[in-house]
Amino acid sequence: MELKLLNRNIIYNGKVFTVIVDDVMYQSGNRSIREVAEHPGGSVILAVFPNNDIILIKQHRYPINKFIYELPAGKLDTNEDPLDCAKRELEEETGYIANKWEKLTAIYTTPGFCTEQLHIYLASDLRLSRNGRNLEEGEMTMTLEIVPLKKAIEMIEKQEIVDAKTICGILLAYHKLNKKNK
């Protein structure tokens, strides 16, 4: 490791993330401060129908004060398996259940300051849940849109989809599904 940890201070321990300030030393002997947002990670779901339509959600994001298009996703509970999280979030946010699951990848969202790792899944063989959607209070304005995968690519190109995890999931699924269809 390039850095030696000299001291760690937990500044804030919140519901979504913990803020840590580390005092570190380089191999040269120079000292520095590293600020880290520690996040448990989450799962992202690209749910695809047989005709290659996908489910997008549109929700308000408080930090940027905008409604944006995203793939269904959610934060991992303590010690939760990412696939279990994906299954839970798909049903809660969309009211759908998938019979087939395939992990596409895992990404670090902002490794310069945050530990968040998101696991991106392709979900298929969809059916409506008997339970329907089960939204949290902060998700009540969330809407669902079912769009062709090809249109989602166009939405990325037009900057109508700007969420990084969503762009990654859509592009990976598009590539994978096009390889299957050849």
User: Please, are residues 36 and 115 in contact by the beta-carbon 8 Å criterion?
Assistant: yes
Identify the pLDDT of residue 148.
97
Residues 135 and 70 both lie in one domain = yes
Identify the pLDDT of residue 67.
94
Q: Indicate which residue of 80, 93, 136, 137 is catalytic.
A: 137
Q: Where are the alpha helices (DSSP H) in the chain?
A: 82-94, 149-157, 164-180
Count of beta carbons in the 10 Å neighbourhood of residue 26: 11
Identify the pLDDT of residue 181.
64
Residue 11 belongs to some domain of the structure: yes
Active site residue 93: no
* CATH code, 74: 3.90.79.10
Q: Are strands 66-70 and 3-13 parallel, antiparallel or unpaired?
A: unpaired
What is the tally of structural domains in the chain? Answer: 2
Residues 14 and 77 both lie in one domain = no
CA–CA–CA angle 135, 137, 139 (5° rounding): 55
Burial class from Cβ neighbours inside 10 Å (0-12, 13-18, 19+) for residue 173 reads buried
**Sign of the alpha-carbon torsion through 116, 64, 13, 81:** negative
Q: What is the DSSP letter of 64?
A: T
Distances (CA, A) of 23 to 3, 20, 37, 48: 10, 10, 15, 46
Q: Which structural domain, as residue segments, surrounds residue 19?
A: 3-38
Residues 96 and 174 both lie in one domain = yes
Residue 112 belongs to some domain of the structure: no
State which H helix or E strand residue 75 sits in. Answer: strand 73-75
Residues 33 and 46 both lie in one domain = no
Count of beta carbons in the 10 Å neighbourhood of residue 64: 9
Residues 8 and 88 both lie in one domain = no
Residues 87 and 152 both lie in one domain = yes
Encode the chain (182 residues) as per-residue pLDDT tens digits: 688 999 999 999 988 889 999 999 999 999 999 999 999 999 999 999 999 999 999 999 989 999 999 999 999 998 999 999 999 999 999 999 999 999 999 999 999 999 999 999 999 999 999 988 877 777 778 889 999 999 999 999 999 999 999 999 999 999 998 887 66
